[in-house]
Chains A and B, each alone.
Chain A
Amino acid sequence: MTWNSLQERKTAVAEGVLEIDRISKRYGDVVALRDMTFDVRAGELFGFVGSNGAGKTTTMRIALGVLAADSGEVRWSGRPVDLEIRRHIGYMPEERGLYPKMKARDQLVYLAELHGLSTSDAQRAADSWLDRLGLTARRDEEVQKLSLGNQQRVQLAAALVHDPAVLVLDEPFSGLDPVAVDVMSEVLREKAASGVPVVFSSHQLDLVERLCDRVGIIRSGQMVACGGVGELRESGPLRLTVDAPRAQPGWTAGLAGVSEVGVHGTVTTVELAEGADDQEVLAAALRTGPVREFSRLRPTLTELYRNVVSQEKAS
């Protein structure tokens, strides 16, 4: 099937969606991935988080075909990802890699050509990305002679130079200085806004929370939580903070399905079991005297993630 006919199909099924469908991978007795499933919609920034060894890199390498899955399938626009489709994926591997002795521009032109661009298109694309990332003055320097930050920029340009239809980036933010983080964030947002599904892994959870539309948390090769950031924060048990200055210790005792999780000064934090009524908590608080603050508490992504990791340790 040719690229053009694929483009036409895009409108039919799962338009532009990258689907990871029940991928499993074992190394001997070690299970690296077990039925890993998620999808990244067109125009969406998807953050992939999990502890080291959870299976993020394995998943991405399988999506790029540099590693074979034992079972399962990766699809794009409803089609199993083959070499032809891979040519339209932008990839930044966990272990960065470029030819150390090749000049930055030559390298980008070469990679663009390998992804199917004509020589003149490849040169144009390389120049435009070098310009965009502030590397024009360094274009004819060997990659090994560039600063680490500039090497990272060339690496990003290498993932983008062929105008990919899908972006898969393994830890794109690691080792970047704050300015480079901003550049990277901006570029990723822009690519997503142009309708490209973008998936990246990161340990910088604040960044993921700020940047991503959806997040997948994986543990031991399995997806344990996946959804919009707001959605995930809603999904946990409801917590409330109540600032009732005159309340006596133990004022929440006797409220059905309510358990106290912490007291800081006059502020009490409680967790509500499924079906418990927050209004009863407010009423009980008002019975103690004035209530200065009453709010629902949403866990941050970091807290959600810690939760998942602690479950991992428990299991």
Chain B
Amino acid sequence: MTTLSPTRTVGLVARREFTTRVRSKAFVLSTLLIIGLLAGYVLLFSFIGKSSAIKVGLAGQSTGISAPLTAITGKLGKEVQTTTVNDQNDGEQQVRSGKLDVLVSGALDAPKVTVKSSLDPALQQALTELVRQQAIQGALAQNGLKPNVLDAAQSVTVRPKVLEPEDPEQGQKTVLAYIVGMVLFISIQTFGVAVAQGVVEEKSSRVVEILLATIRPWQLLLGKVIGIGASGLIQVLAIGVAGVALGRASGMLTLTDFAVGAVASAVGWYLVGFFLYAVLLAAAGSLVSRQEELQSVITPVTLLPVLGFVVGINLTLRNPADPISAVLSMVPFFTPTLMPARIALGVAPLWQVVLALVLAVGCIALFTWLGGKVYGNAVLRTGSRVKLRDALR
């Protein structure tokens, strides 16, 4: 027999935790479920994205306005899909049945517009514009002027000086931020709570007494945290890779490099968040001896990230530059979900990221010390719930 090094001891514990979890049905199913939800989300959005175009049927002379109509509505931020219909009657039929949203027929300078109940204001504006142009050109022609004399005047527009140019990828980034924040939040909660459950499992099954007759409490705790953390890491990675692949395949995600960067940093933040909560949750778990009692001791710890996430992510998504969300994202308890969301939005300056990281790592050190102390004092006391005050002595 050789001397057992602490590294091997911790490694053995971690390996058991990791393989037990990764092989479990719950782990495989939850990973597939989250990826499935992502796929559903992607599918839903690509469907909504396509169906949001206004379907315009053109009949008679109006068939000629297809190109200019699409161009003008495009400028107004609306997408239209034009089709040619046989005649007025056929068109009206299709509007009634909902196949078409709008039917345009009749002469170019006085088109007849048929809708089921209401006309989209942007489309109305575009059609009015078109009709006006037709009228002006008709008038010019009647007065012997070339239609293009007004082209120069037409092309005069107001060009604003843009101080903060709008990011054309803002939409993608918002979705990315939301998903990153959500996945991190779920993973940190799930695997953090798994640590607490693991601690209680060892207490309730009494196996902890056999274990601690041969290894030290900190070795058991550290091995457990590393093993469960690693299984969570595998899940986060799988979700990240699947998410980027899905986004690309569906065409929703065009910013591949940016997304890969955001996902990679999210994996790092998962580790920060997991370690931040895992030791606290393990300490909380060590206070009780039965799974039924677990909820009451971990709720104070699990509620914090919920609060931070719900408040923070809403503020952030409503206004990426929101100063309160910037402050919240630097509070260690909220950092692991909010900061990566803000990074995914592209609104987190480097100094904020670094400050948040330093604060979070400092907190991890503090919690590890405190949590290790509570765990070491409480884990062998079976029976009634151990008071926190006694465990801290």
For B12, what are the chain A residues with a Cβ–Cβ distance below 8 Å? Answer: 110, 113-114
Most buried by A among B2, B208, B209, B215: B209
Render A58-101 as a binary contact track against B, CB cut-off 8 A, 1 for contact.
00010011110000000000000001101111010101111111
For A65, what are the chain B residues with a Cβ–Cβ distance below 8 Å? Answer: 212-213
Q: Which of A95, A111, A117 has a CB less than 8 Å from the CB of B209?
A: A95
B214 at the interface (CB under 8 A from A): yes
Given A114-B214, A158-B210, A66-B380 contact (CB < 8 Å): yes
Q: Which of A87, A96, A98, A102 has a CB less than 8 Å from the CB of B214?
A: A87
Contact B205 A100 (CB under 8 A): yes
For A116, what are the chain B residues with a Cβ–Cβ distance below 8 Å? Answer: 1-4
Render B141-159 as a binary contact track against A, CB cut-off 8 A, 1 for contact.
0000000000000000000
A251 at the interface (CB under 8 A from B): no
Contact B214 A97 (CB under 8 A): no
Given A99-B205, A116-B2, A110-B210 contact (CB < 8 Å): no
Given A83-B216, A98-B205, A102-B20, A111-B210 contact (CB < 8 Å): yes
Render A248-264 as a binary contact track against B, CB cut-off 8 A, 1 for contact.
00000000000000000
For B3, what are the chain A residues with a Cβ–Cβ distance below 8 Å? Answer: 2-3, 84, 116
Contact A93 B205 (CB under 8 A): no
For B216, what are the chain A residues with a Cβ–Cβ distance below 8 Å? Answer: 83
Can you name the residue of chain B whose Cβ is closest to the Cβ of A117?
B1
Contact B213 A66 (CB under 8 A): yes
User: CA A302 – CA B214 in complex, angstroms?
Assistant: 35
Given A89-B213, A116-B1, A67-B205 contact (CB < 8 Å): no
Can you name the residue of chain B whose Cβ is closest to the Cβ of A162?
B1
For A95, what are the chain B residues with a Cβ–Cβ distance below 8 Å? Answer: 206, 209, 382
**What total count of A-B pairs have CB within 8 Å?**
73
Contact A91 B210 (CB under 8 A): yes
Given A66-B380, A83-B216, A114-B9, A97-B210 contact (CB < 8 Å): yes
B96 at the interface (CB under 8 A from A): no
A115 at the interface (CB under 8 A from B): yes
Contact B209 A115 (CB under 8 A): no
Given A86-B213, A110-B12, A114-B9, A98-B1 contact (CB < 8 Å): no
Most buried by A among B16, B214, B380: B214
Can you name the residue of chain B whose Cβ is closest to the Cβ of A119?
B12
Contact B207 A98 (CB under 8 A): yes
Contact B215 A114 (CB under 8 A): yes
User: CA A87 – CA B4 in complex, angstroms?
Assistant: 9
Contact A115 B207 (CB under 8 A): no
Can you name the residue of chain B whose Cβ is closest to the Cβ of A65?
B213
Question: Closest Cβ of chain B: how far from A189's Cβ, in Å?
Answer: 23
Render B209-226 as a binary contact track against A, CB cut-off 8 A, 1 for contact.
111111110000000000
- Size range of the chain A interface in the assembly: 20 to 34
Contact B208 A99 (CB under 8 A): no
User: CA A61 – CA B208 in complex, angstroms?
Assistant: 13
B109 at the interface (CB under 8 A from A): no
Most buried by B among A3, A87, A158: A87
Question: Closest Cβ of chain A: how far from B386's Cβ, in Å?
Answer: 14
* Contacts of B167-215 to chain A: CB distance below 8 A: 201-202, 205-215
Q: Which of B2, B16, B20, B207 has a CB less than 8 Å from the CB of A97?
A: B207
For B205, what are the chain A residues with a Cβ–Cβ distance below 8 Å? Answer: 97-100
* Contacts of A10-62 to chain B: CB distance below 8 A: 61
Question: Closest Cβ of chain B: how far from A58's Cβ, in Å?
Answer: 13
User: CA A38 – CA B155 in complex, angstroms?
Assistant: 106
Question: Closest Cβ of chain B: how far from A23's Cβ, in Å?
Answer: 17
Contact B209 A99 (CB under 8 A): no
Question: Closest Cβ of chain B: how far from A65's Cβ, in Å?
Answer: 6
Can you name the residue of chain A whose Cβ is closest to the Cβ of B379?
A66
For B206, what are the chain A residues with a Cβ–Cβ distance below 8 Å? Answer: 93, 95-97
Can you name the residue of chain B whose Cβ is closest to the Cβ of A88?
B1
Render A115-142 as a binary contact track against B, CB cut-off 8 A, 1 for contact.
1111000000000000000000000000
Given A3-B2, A100-B205, A67-B214 contact (CB < 8 Å): no
User: CA A162 – CA B216 in complex, angstroms?
Assistant: 18
Render B262-287 as a binary contact track against A, CB cut-off 8 A, 1 for contact.
00000000000000000000000000
Question: Closest Cβ of chain A: how far from B358's Cβ, in Å?
Answer: 35
Question: Closest Cβ of chain A: how far from B210's Cβ, in Å?
Answer: 6
Question: Closest Cβ of chain A: how far from B220's Cβ, in Å?
Answer: 9
Contact A66 B1 (CB under 8 A): no
* Contacts of B1-26 to chain A: CB distance below 8 A: 1-4, 9, 12-13, 16, 20
Contact A93 B2 (CB under 8 A): no
For B9, what are the chain A residues with a Cβ–Cβ distance below 8 Å? Answer: 114
For B208, what are the chain A residues with a Cβ–Cβ distance below 8 Å? Answer: 97
Render A186-202 as a binary contact track against B, CB cut-off 8 A, 1 for contact.
00000000000000000
Can you name the residue of chain B whose Cβ is closest to the Cβ of A84?
B3
For B215, what are the chain A residues with a Cβ–Cβ distance below 8 Å? Answer: 83, 114
For B20, what are the chain A residues with a Cβ–Cβ distance below 8 Å? Answer: 101-102
Can you name the residue of chain A whose Cβ is closest to the Cβ of B207?
A97
User: CA A87 – CA B214 in complex, angstroms?
Assistant: 5
Sort A-B residue pairs by CB-CB distance and give the 10 closest, nearest first: A97-B206, A97-B207, A64-B213, A116-B4, A95-B206, A93-B209, A91-B213, A116-B1, A87-B214, A97-B205
**Contact sample, A vs B, 27 pairs, CB 8 Å cutoff:** A2-B3, A3-B3, A61-B209, A65-B212, A65-B213, A67-B380, A83-B214, A83-B216, A86-B213, A87-B4, A87-B214, A91-B213, A93-B213, A95-B206, A95-B209, A97-B206, A97-B208, A100-B201, A101-B20, A102-B20, A111-B210, A113-B12, A114-B4, A114-B12, A114-B214, A115-B214, A116-B1
Which residues of A line the B interface, CB within 8 A? 2-3, 61, 64-67, 83-84, 86-89, 91, 93, 95-102, 110-111, 113-118, 158, 162
